[in-house]
Amino acid sequence: MKHEESIIVLDFGSQYTQLIARRIREFGVYSEIKQFDFDLNELDKLNPKGIILSGGPSSVYDKNAPLPDKKLFDMGYPILGICYGLQVIAHLNGGKVAGALHREYGRAELTVDDHSDLFFQLENFLTVWMSHGDRLENMTDDFKIIGHTGNAPIAAVRHKIKPFYGIQFHPEVVHTPKGNKILENFVIKICGCSKSWNASSFVDTAVNEIKNKVGQEQAICALSGGVDSTVAAYLVARAIGKNLTCIFVDTGLLRAGEAEQVNNYFGEADFKFIHVDAGQRFLTKLDRVMDPEKKRKIIGEEFIRVFEEEAKKIGDINYLIQGTLYPDVIESVSTKGPSALIKSHHNVGGLPEKMGLKLLEPLRELFKDEVRKVGKELKIPENILGRHPFPGPGLAVRILGEITNERLAILRPADKIYIEELKKNDQYDKIWQAFAVLLPVQTVGVMGDERTYENVIALRAVTSMDGMTADWAKIPNDILAKISNRIINEVKGVNRVVYDISSKPPSTIEWE
Ligand code: XMP
């Protein structure tokens, strides 16, 4: 998509690179991440108003230290170097970087020596977050020191003539409480950006682009009822209306009441909506399959088969819509986590080539929270936008072991009670994802005077920014007690409930 103006973040491998782009977008300025060695001849096309060099784990003296083309400093863009980015600026502009006596990690107090631009309207002393090995020992006379700390005499610098700035600390993390103002000073005051990028301007531009691109041709979309595919579909529908057909494949592996809910809601939409009830097909294919990867593979393949059959019935289609998000497309040093390799994720990958379709991914520039804002702009109701993510293979990866109608009938009501109680007790929106899992073991219990030998339900709830890393949610004990009581009392075949207290990594969010 073409943007009027942007801030380009060159990534040198910091775990915080994505955060820099997110913070900047929060002020209403479009920001995009590119790898440190991005071809600078392509830079002008992105309409940058400024460049940020991210942090990174390297030392500028490492044999293969990531460094940008030196030409970057002759292009006239304002540049802000953060941590390793500062050292890159120093190293390529005659300064001296050296190993600090102590690796500095944690909070530090920055004394501001100059308030004119980067630290405009900020106090004299700021709490900042440091995380570095090397530090700046010497800067050439071309630079002025504008901030220092006890351990880093050169913690913030500005070039005396050119708009180059560098800071040793991380303004993008919450541990630097005034970090947003520092970034905003760079983006708005120094680069002159105009805060005009928001959900509404995004929708206008995207709708126009989709109209121009798709014209009178036909598009299809696999609609799951999840946030991403729903927002993608509504956005495209705003551009092409009934030339979009959305196919909802009911795998029979959905949660309680979900298929009905999706039908009711999407049946009213501006696009054509097809509901395929394929539950029996999936269950037959999954008969006696226990292995998680096999389950995923079977579901993925069957999904594509069903989808393809339906698409063929529609006839002449040119585009396939997918709700791919920005974290999946960033080509950076650091942001590709290991999770993609650990489980084969199921989506309609491979379909476009096979069916000769062109791919349209209208959300590929957005983070999840931005997708929700766009959804709001498109008037999609909160109960759909606020939903927790749900995996393509559905309950199949939450029923450990064999998947049968009987076991689905145990998991569904247990999960329903869990989610109901989380909502009732104001927990649902604080949690990234919560769900029940049916374990493949039975345990002994006692009900009345009778011995029971029944199933165990595990409750999983995690907090997370993006699903790549996650912490188990600290749901208050009394709420957990209520959930456990209700599940054991109301769901036939369950006599024990356990709570999962593992974070990711080393565990994953789903159990399979
Ligand atoms: P894991 O279990 O890998 O999950 O920590 C990370 C996030 O991805 C979701 N997930 C999937 N989503 N198809 C999907 O569309 C899948 O096959 C799949 N597997 C896991 C999971 O629910 C969590 O949000």
pLDDT band at 42 (very low <50, low <70, confident <90, very high): very high
Would you say the CB of residue 339 lies under 6 angstroms from ligand 1? yes
CA 339 / ligand 1 centre spacing (Å)? 9
- The span from the CA of 412 to the CA of 424, in Å, is 18
For residues 153, 156, 157 and 163, what is the CA-based torsion angle, rounded to 10 degrees?
Answer: 180
For the residues 153-167, what does the mean pLDDT come to? 96
pLDDT > 50? residue 341: no
Residue with the two structure tokens 């020191």: 145
Q: Give the containing element (helix H, strand E) for 341.
A: helix 339-342
Tens digit of each residue's pLDDT (9 = 90 or more) over 387-445: 999 999 999 999 999 999 999 999 999 999 999 999 999 999 999 999 999 999 999 99
Please give the share of the chain, as a percent, with pLDDT higher than 70. 96
172 is catalytic: yes
Tens digit of each residue's pLDDT (9 = 90 or more) over 267-326: 999 999 999 999 999 999 999 999 999 999 999 999 999 999 999 999 899 999 999 998
Length of the chain (residues) = 512
137 is catalytic: no
Would you say the CB of residue 509 lies under 6 angstroms from ligand 1? yes
Q: At what angle do helices 368-377 and 199-214 cross, to 10 degrees?
A: 80
pLDDT > 90? residue 202: yes
| pLDDT for res 95 | 86
* Identified catalytic residue from 83, 191, 193, 246: 83
CA 394 / ligand 1 centre spacing (Å)? 9
170 is catalytic: yes
| pLDDT for res 81 | 98
- The span from the CA of 212 to the CA of 392, in Å, is 31
Closest CA to 52 of 4, 118, 97: 118
CA 288 / ligand 1 centre spacing (Å)? 23
Residue with the two structure tokens 């999983």: 460
> Which atom number of ligand 1 is nearest to the Cα of residue 397?
19
Task: Give the range among 88-102, 210-224, 360-374 with minimum mean pLDDT.
Answer: 88-102
Q: At 243, which amino acid appears?
A: N
Domains with residue ranges and CATH for the chain: 6-190 (3.40.50.880), 199-385 (3.40.50.620), 404-499 (3.30.300.10)
pLDDT > 60? residue 339: no
pLDDT > 50? residue 448: yes
Contact 171, 147 (CB under 8 A): no
For the residues 89-107, what does the mean pLDDT come to? 83
Would you say the CB of residue 393 lies under 6 angstroms from ligand 1? yes
pLDDT > 90? residue 96: no
Would you say the CB of residue 466 lies under 6 angstroms from ligand 1? no
Closest CA to 136 of 176, 92, 75: 92
DSSP 389: P
Q: At 98, which amino acid appears?
A: A
Closest residue by Cα to atom 14, ligand 1, is 391
Would you say the CB of residue 391 lies under 6 angstroms from ligand 1? yes
Would you say the CB of residue 323 lies under 6 angstroms from ligand 1? no
**What pTM was estimated for this model as a whole?**
0.88
> Which atom number of ligand 1 is nearest to the Cα of residue 346?
17
The shares of helix, strand and coil residues in the chain, as percent rounded to the nearest 5, are 35, 25, 40
Task: Give the range among 10-24, 95-109, 142-156 with minimum mean pLDDT.
Answer: 95-109
CA 10 / ligand 1 centre spacing (Å)? 28
